[in-house]
Amino acid sequence: MDHRLLEIIACPVCHGKLSYDKENSELICKLDRLAFPVRDGIPVLLENESRALPTEDNK
């Protein structure tokens, strides 16, 4: 994932910063605990395509 792209895209829910999880090919919003898929190098920033991340207590 291009570092410059990460600087300009934002979470579609809260408009917060996203971080890239290379292992799972996902963009992570830590505030909303959502993971957005990256398919064929293209971020899919749709809330209905995201998956909920487990809370810190469940780890």
CB under 8 Å to 40, separation ≥6 — which residues?
Answer: none
Angle at 12 between CA 17 and CA 15, to 5 degrees: 40
Domains and CATH numbers, the chain: 1-53 (2.20.25.10)
**What's the confidence (pLDDT) of residue 59?**
45
**What's the confidence (pLDDT) of residue 1?**
74
What DSSP state is assigned to residue 11? -
- Taking the C-alpha atoms of residue 51 and residue 54, their distance in angstroms, rounded to an integer, is 10
Q: Read off the pTM.
A: 0.86
Q: What is the pLDDT of residues 3-59, one digit of tens each?
A: 898 999 999 999 999 999 999 999 999 999 999 999 999 999 999 999 999 987 544
Please, how many CA atoms are within 13 Å of residue 40, restricted to the half-sphere of its CB? 0
The token duo for 24 is: 């799972």
